[in-house]
Chain A
Amino acid sequence: RKEVEQDPGPFNVPEGATVAFNCTYSNSASQSFFWYRQDCRKEPKLLMSVYSSGNEDGRFTAQLNRASQYISLLIRDSKLSDSATYLCVVNMGNAGGTSYGKLTFGQGTILTVHP
């Protein structure tokens, strides 16, 4: 089983649609969670961190369910500029419970928003 698994898609949605991505992780000791965005042939960039209570940044909402080891990203009112690959990223932490600084990436979910 992969440590971080995502549905690779692709997701093709019209402008204005709401789309949700899911991600599962295998290590229950994982410490912190993120969504990164990667445009075609570009480097990944942090989109948002994911907190236990859920968090929102404009049209983007991230949720974490530690019991189910599940992370989600919801994009509302999709824009053409949202077209990209979305990477689910997990910091596995260490036995002492402190943040370890080593990230594990999912394979990414491809989103295409069309007019």
Chain B
Amino acid sequence: DADVTQTPRNRITKTGKRIMLECSQTKGHDRMYWYRQDPGLGLRLIYYSFDVKDINKGEISDGYSVSRQAQAKFSLSLESAIPNQTALYFCATSDLPGDTDTQYFGPGTRLTVL
């Protein structure tokens, strides 16, 4: 079983709809992240959470909100989706900073907003 899972894997929605993307992890990591990836722009950080009570905005948080329901779950919401939020969204986890700071990514959610 995958250590980091995301649901749904694909979603097509309409402008103005509320959308929630969910992320779960079984790695026992405290830190979780949400990124979006657009062609030519790389991955950009939307929100990150270093533990259940600590949530922080990333570089592109406008139009998004998050909820850290438990250590293992971190959800991303688009309150009113717009077409320029069409992208590939990744959730990631990491342990406390160490020698590698490795982040482990989920398989991604491909979101299309019409």
Could you list which residues of chain A lie within 8 angstroms of chain B, going by C-beta atoms? 4, 8, 32, 34, 41-46, 49, 87, 91, 98-108
Supposing A43-B105, A43-B106, A45-B105 touch, asked if A100 and B43 sit within 8 A by C-beta, the answer is no
Q: Which residues of B contact A44 (CB under 8 A)?
A: 43, 90, 105
B64 at the binding interface (Cβ < 8 Å): no
A106 to B40, CA, bound (A): 9
A34 to B98, CA, bound (A): 13
Q: Which 10 A-B pairs have the closest CB atoms?
A: A99-B97, A43-B105, A107-B42, A105-B43, A105-B42, A101-B97, A46-B102, A91-B101, A49-B100, A44-B105
In this complex, what residue of A is CB-closest to B100?
Answer: A49
Could you list which residues of chain B lie within 8 angstroms of chain A, going by C-beta atoms? 31, 33, 35, 40-45, 48, 50, 58, 90, 94, 96-103, 105-108
Establish whether residues B94 and A43, one from each chain, have CB atoms under 8 Å apart when the complex forms. no
Establish whether residues B107 and A42, one from each chain, have CB atoms under 8 Å apart when the complex forms. yes
Choice from B35, B42, B106, B107 contacting A108 with Cβ under 8 Å: B42
Choice from A8, A34, A101 contacting B50 with Cβ under 8 Å: A101
By CB atoms of chain B within 10 A, which of A8, A98, A102 has the most?
A102
Establish whether residues A99 and B101, one from each chain, have CB atoms under 8 Å apart when the complex forms. yes
Q: Which residues of B contact A4 (CB under 8 A)?
A: 42
Establish whether residues A87 and B43, one from each chain, have CB atoms under 8 Å apart when the complex forms. yes
Other than the known A46-B100, A107-B40, what 10 A-B pairs have Cβ atoms closer than 8 Å?
Answer: A34-B101, A42-B107, A42-B108, A43-B108, A44-B43, A49-B100, A99-B98, A103-B103, A105-B35, A105-B42
